[in-house]
Amino acid sequence: MSYRAPVSEFGFLMDHVVGMDRVAATDRFAEATRDTVHAILTEAGKMSEEVLAPLNRAGDLSPARLENGVVRSPPGFAEGYRAIAEGGYIAISADPAHGGLGLPMTVTTAVNEMMASACLSLQLNPLMTQGQIEALEHHASDEIKALYLPRLVSGEWCGTMNLTEPQAGSDVGALRSKAVPQEDGSYAISGQKIYISWGDNDFSGNVIHLVLARLPDGGPGTKGISLFLVPRDLPNEDGGAGVRNSLKVVSLEHKLGLHGSPTAVMEYDGATGWLVGEPHNGMAAMFTMMNNARLGVGVQGLGVAEAAYQHAVSYAMDRKQGRVPVEGGPGTILDHADVRRMLTGMKAEIFAARALALDLAVSIDLAQATGDADMAARAAFLTPICKAYGTETGISVADTGIQVHGGMGFIEETGAAQYLRDVRVTAIYEGTNGIQAMDLVGRKMMDDGAAATTLLDEIAETAAASDAGAALSDAATALRTTTAALTGMQMNDRFAGSVPYLRAFALALGGHYHLKAAKAEPGGVRAKLAHSFLLRQLPELHGLLAQVQGGAADLYAFSADDFAA
């Protein structure tokens, strides 16, 4: 079955649900007209369908490998990467001063989803570069910008991010990598980094690493960390890639999925690098890249969900099994109630996750274009929800897709299992979903729930405007009560209920988006889907909120020995 890019769905959501017209109405993004955006998405969709999608299975069967210190990418990945770079899809939102298109993040978000659906292993490469471009635009010196940004924007060079070390995973402050100042203003970087996505490749002219390390006078913890730009090949006088830097790929990880994407262990042995941003303030610069990546990773989960759903629907429309109870149906398993339950749930969650990602992107664009602090707070609040809900949707939809296939889903040749293997890591990297949830109830609640309340007001308004809004209204009221209780809890009690709270908020937002879609298309497919979501997905919210109210006492009633009993 071939992937079909959901270009019309993006258009509908932008026009009727997330308010893309507000972005196009700003001076900064005036060129992002409806026709321009549609043209870009149409071409990106064709590339995803025709060039990238055929690479997905090839990357799984012929993984990236390390040969004599050189990373060899799967067959066709070089050509796929060139199509992405030459189409301008790496730098849709980058500053035109360095060759970018300067278009809204909303457009990048839609394009990234299509590329992730088609071939997640390859799409991970430009996603890393996009984040690096944004970090350099905000924090790098003019000299670094002038040399590196045009080459990253064009796709001539690729970018990575280097945070994790064997002893420092989510606790980044425990890192041991060192940076020693040199007389010429550069720094000698030494240390080992693990889990570096696309740590090297054989199709770009250079690979540029952003590396967290500690200066000699850097204090303990995250406050003493600085950020450094470390190229694989040191630029020569004309700016081209020159001699090899003192770094190498030690090995590639053997992973559950994403076999086409090399995940490297990197060794830096006095490698030459340059400071990005202020000394000891590397986390601020890196978080610029990570926040970009958190939206991008949520969209990766969503993209795999769409591909897995299409795969499952195709199978269900073809597979004949058992006596079907529907007169005039296709006579396949699609006619069975349980298969329809699974497919409808998959489709409804994908719609909610896609609307959430685009809503977040619109909020980012409006904050950038207008400087509106409230819109920036809205974007900040939605970011952890988008990352977690998008990736959990990818995992659950891919898992359900296997179930739709029945026994054949467990057989690798059908391709259904690859979606689950590939998407599983998205709930882990760029901050685990548990960390996203703790961020939501911790940092994002430092305003005493003001951003949450504003969103709940939006949800309640949508519910009140719909004849079918009673369930959503009840959900918003329950979520409002729980939010007020949450802000009065001790932090560890908040953390104990943070994951169910995040999902509950995502479901309320999902109902909000579905009802807006139903209002724009009464009686159509989207109205049917909204009814199903409100009936089958939204009621879960009340059980989730009961967990939030419970705090952490039951969890800490267990001793360490009890867990081993």
Q: Which residues are catalytic?
A: 430
Task: List the one residue out of 415, 385, 416 whose CA is nearest residue 399.
Answer: 416
β-pair partners for 207: 158
Whether 247 contacts 209, CB under 8 Å:
yes
Report the distance separating Cα 537 and Cα 487, nearest Å. 26
Q: How far apart are CA 498 and CA 442, in angstroms?
A: 9
Count of C-beta atoms within a 10 Å radius of residue 242:
14
Cβ count within 10 A of residue 485: 16
CB atoms under 10 Å from CB of 70, counted, come to: 11
Query: What's the angle, vertex CA 287, arms to CA 286 and CA 290, rounded to 5?
Result: 95
The answer to whether residues 450 and 480 touch, using CB atoms and an 8 Å cutoff, is no
**435: part of which helix (H) or strand (E)?**
helix 433-441
Q: Which two tokens stand for residue 407?
A: 């026994």
Which residue do the tokens 């996603």 mark?
127
Three-state DSSP state, 503: helix
**How far is the C-alpha of 435 from the C-alpha of 393, rounded, in Å?**
17
Helix (H) or strand (E) holding 270: strand 263-276
Q: Are 449 and 316 in contact (CB under 8 A)?
A: no
The CA distance from 157 to 151, in Å, is 5
Beta strand 187-197 with 263-276 is antiparallel
Q: CB atoms < 10 A from the CB of 391, how many?
A: 31
Q: Is 207 helix (H, G, I), strand (E, B) or coil?
A: strand
346, 352, 357, 359 alpha-carbon torsion, rounded to 10°: 160
Question: What distance in Å separates the CA atoms of residue 143 and residue 149, rounded to the nearest whole number?
Answer: 10
H-helix or E-strand spanning residue 425: none
